[in-house]
Amino acid sequence: MSVTFPNESPDYRAARDRLLEQEIELRRAMEAVAAARRALPAGGPIPEDYLFQGASEDGAPADVRMSELFAPGKDSLVIYSFMFPRDPADDRPGPGTGSTARLPLAAGPCPSCTALLDQLDGAVEHATQNLNLAVVAKAPLPLVRAFAEERGWRRLRLLSSETNTYNRDYHAETPTGHQRPVLNVFHRDGEAIRHFWGSELFYAPLDPGQDPRHVGTLEPLWNLFDLTREGRPSWDEQLAYR
């Protein structure tokens, strides 16, 4: 199929066709990476059945084991580590209203993580038809739930790892206790729960002018910018915009 748009020039069409070939190769590369990921050997079993603070079906606070995050017939579990508290060097404004606005800035939520979770909250109902999804923060559960209510999150399963070592064990926390936005995937293999994949790209060397993009394929926001003439702005997400 040959596509053209109104009033385009021959130079534009030639350049666009060359770009289309690159896009086709990118699609093939992404499919090859996804196939290689699926073909990974079995990962290591989890060191313990982590105990998180979460909520029961009626919304009441309740302890939740990692094994209980797997619904019947769904053997993959995706866990995003929410930087709450944020990185100490992050000086972007904190929440402007609500109970979390009273927190010291360094104890508050990460704006970039928040932007991603704003997007994921809308995807949860669709994604959880085929997998399990949870968000883990180091902050106490009441703070996490209060912030979720302030943001209007209705679907995300939110947990606190305040009393366990999950974040440290799975590279979402530095030795000095700073939180990191790592995404990990686990697979239930019979009675065993094994690590399947982690967004280690966060820790990989960066090319000049790049950021880690370790969860880049998940983010509609930044991928939308890539479709524009201006490209990705030199800009950081905020908790609120004027």
Helical H segments across the chain, by residue range:
10-38, 111-127, 141-151, 166-169, 220-225
Residues pairing with 51 in the sheet: 65
pLDDT one-digit tens code per residue, 150-170: 999 999 999 999 999 999 999
Percentage of the residues of the chain whose pLDDT score is greater than 70 = 100
Residues in the chain: 242
The pLDDT of residue 242 is: 85
The whole-number pLDDT of residue 209 equals: 82
Candidates 148, 152, 151, 157; CA nearest to 128 is: 157
Residues 20 and 2: their CA atoms lie apart, in Å, by 11
Confidence of residue 4 (pLDDT cuts 50, 70, 90): very high
Which pLDDT does position 88 carry in this prediction? 95
What are the contacts of 171-178 at 24+ separation with CB within 8 A?
A: 171/198, 171/200, 171/203, 172/81, 172/136, 173/81, 173/138, 178/87, 178/88
Q: Which pTM does this prediction carry?
A: 0.95
Distance CA 148, CA 99 (A): 11
- pLDDT tens for residues 69-94? 999 999 999 999 999 999 999 999 99
pLDDT of amino acid 224: 94
Establish how many alpha carbons lie within 13 A of residue 67's alpha carbon, considering only the half-sphere containing its beta carbon. Answer: 10
Cβ(165)–Cβ(58) below 8 Å: no
Q: Are 139 and 239 in contact (CB under 8 A)?
A: no
Confidence of residue 57 (pLDDT cuts 50, 70, 90): confident
| pLDDT in the model for residue 58 | 82
Q: What is the mean pLDDT of the chain?
A: 96
Confidence of residue 1 (pLDDT cuts 50, 70, 90): low
What 199-204 contacts at long range (C-beta under 8 Å, 24+ apart), as own/partner pairs, is: 200/171, 203/171
Among 232, 241, 188, smallest CA distance to 209 is for 232
Higher pLDDT, 55 or 196: 196
Contact 193, 67 (CB under 8 A): yes
140-149 per-residue burial string, b: 16 or more CB within 10 A, e: under 16: ebebbbbbbe
Could you give the 3-state DSSP secondary structure of residue 12? helix
- The model's pLDDT over 109-160, given as tens digits with 9 standing for 90+, comes to 999 999 999 999 999 999 999 999 999 999 999 999 999 999 999 999 999 9
Which domains occur in the chain, in start order? 51-202 (3.40.30.10)
